[in-house]
């Protein structure tokens, strides 16, 4: 949840001048729906709907409001870098595409060839380092 939290935070805090986000979901409810169906065969209705309602009550929150895809729109004109594994086994690559499409310029995306969640950096450390350093050099110098 670090990247999702980072996106929401950056949208709300203009002191953050650039952001690099790895393996984020576009919407927590969409991610819970994906995981529920894929890993447990849970239908969205009524089980997921009830689980979200209980989580909202117990956590005094609203999971429907945790939508980095809506927050990332407000970050521009500060630059964002979206990174994701093309075969992420937990947060589908489509979430990265959604985030990238929602972001306004300047924006960049790097897709790593990897099959596990949050293995972007591990998949090719030299390339990851090059992409991230180049991004921050370009926008923060």
User: Domains in the chain, ordered, with CATH?
Assistant: 2-27+67-140 (3.40.50.1820)
Tokens read off for 39: 């890993």
- Kindly report whether the global pTM for this prediction surpasses the value 0.85: yes
Under 8 Å between Cβ of 102 and 134:
no
**Cβ-based neighbour number of residue 123 at 10 Å:** 16
* Rounded distance between C-alpha atoms, residue 141 and residue 138, angstroms: 6
What proportion of the chain, given as a percentage, has pLDDT over 90?
93
Convert the pLDDT of each residue in 47-102 to its tens digit. Answer: 899 999 999 999 999 999 999 999 999 999 999 999 999 999 999 999 999 999 99
Residue matched to tokens 């991004």: 135
Residue 42 pLDDT exceeds 90:
no
């Amino acid at each position: 949840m670090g990247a999702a939290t980072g996106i929401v935070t950056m949208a709300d805090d203009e002191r953050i001048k650039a952001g690099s986000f790895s393996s984020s979901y576009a919407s927590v409810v969409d991610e819970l729906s994906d995981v529920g169906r894929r890993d447990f065969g849970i239908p969205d209705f009524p089980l997921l709907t009830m689980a979200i309602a209980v989580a909202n009550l117990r956590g005094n929150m609203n999971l429907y409001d945790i939508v980095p895809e809506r927050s990332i729109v407000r970050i521009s004109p500060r630059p964002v870098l979206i990174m994701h594994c093309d075969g992420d086994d937990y947060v589908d690559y489509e979430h990265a595409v959604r985030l990238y499409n929602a972001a306004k310029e300047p924006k960049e995306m790097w897709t790593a060839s990897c099959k596990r969640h949050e293995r972007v950096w591990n998949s090719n450390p030299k390339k990851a380092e090059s992409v991230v350093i180049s991004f921050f050099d370009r926008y923060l110098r």
